[in-house]
Amino acid sequence: MKLIIGLGNPGERYQGSRHNMGFEVIDRLGDKLRMQRAKTRKNALVSEGVYRGERLALCKPLTYMNCSGEAVRDLCHWYKVEPEDALIISDDVDLPVGTIRLRPYGGAGTHNGWRSIIQETGSNRFPRIRVGVGSPPPEWDLANWVLAGFQSPEEKKIIEDALNRACDAAIEFLDSGIEKAMNLYNRANEPTAKTDTKA
């Protein structure tokens, strides 16, 4: 059994925001893997299916970002999944726009969703894919920055490419594990075009 959990905030007002990169990847995975229609389970929207003979659930927590750990904890308990078998996808303001980074485990950094996950589950052993959304310019509050969307066509194209790469990296995790996925997607994951996140 594998879980792939994308972090974000539920509701139309947050669609397309920097904080919803995890939700965006889950939506792409669901389409690509032809998963079942999502249903509500354990504070999350969950699509279930079978991938290469193994049960798989794609999950979008409904707890809002700062309480993501409540849903992650409950989902892992419900499906009896260890942290190492639950891939989590999130945004990251400490990575340039369009960069993706995979790790087998790690700390929370500045991310409140990750802080909640580690606190609620008591573990930092979750493999992860982080999608870079860039850091805010000095005049922006961090909370407002992550809840805002991408404005320029160039940024939107870069993020679209990054989300597709993150989707492919998640499938590689299912196929071959986090180490192989890291080797493939951490090498050449820089955005194909440069952008100014302070625009």
Active site residues: 19
Name the residue among 153, 187, 154 with its Cα closest to residue 172.
187
Using a 10 angstrom Cβ sphere, with 0-12 exposed, 13-18 middle and 19 or more buried, the burial of residue 9 is buried
Strand pairing class (44-51; 39-40): antiparallel
CA distance 41 to 58: 11
Residue with tokens 């369009």: 98
